[in-house]
Amino acid sequence: MKGLVAAIIGLAIAVSADPSAAYVAAITTSIPIASAGDDDQLKDALTSAIDDVLHHAIAFTPTVVTLQSARVVDDRIYILLLVADGDGEEMLQKLSVERIRNSIE
């Protein structure tokens, strides 16, 4: 009997929950190191690579794009981007606050 009551309560909670879709994507792209001859060329190459990711690699409209890391390997610069929509941005902020709170305790 207790199992049946627990199952009914669990089902009621699951049905009444309002799921929200939060989109967050970590995407790696690269540019040739030859395209980074000077600051202007590097900026143009990075802008082009990021625009390409935003227009072809994700299927949502991002509200935040952050550069997580960049590394040179052989003749390429590898770039790790974190892209999120509004709900994803809010989720990342909450996670960040929780991580800070947990590191203080």
Q: What is the pLDDT, as a whole number, of residue 5?
A: 56
Q: Are 63 and 89 in contact (CB under 8 A)?
A: yes
pLDDT-derived band at 2 (thresholds 50, 70, 90) equals: low
Position 6 in a domain: no
Position 3 in a domain: no
Query: Does residue 69 surpass a pLDDT of 90?
Result: yes
Q: What is the pLDDT, as a whole number, of residue 6?
A: 59
Position 16 in a domain: no
Mean pLDDT of 97-101: 72
Position 44 in a domain: yes
Question: Which residue range(s) make up the domain with 94?
Answer: 21-104
Both tokens assigned to 60: 């949502």
Rounded distance between C-alpha atoms, residue 41 and residue 60, angstroms: 28
Position 8 in a domain: no
What is the tally of structural domains in the chain? 1
Mean pLDDT of 5-24: 62
Position 71 in a domain: yes
Mean pLDDT of the residues in the chain: 82
Highest mean pLDDT (candidates 6-15, 19-28, 96-105): 19-28
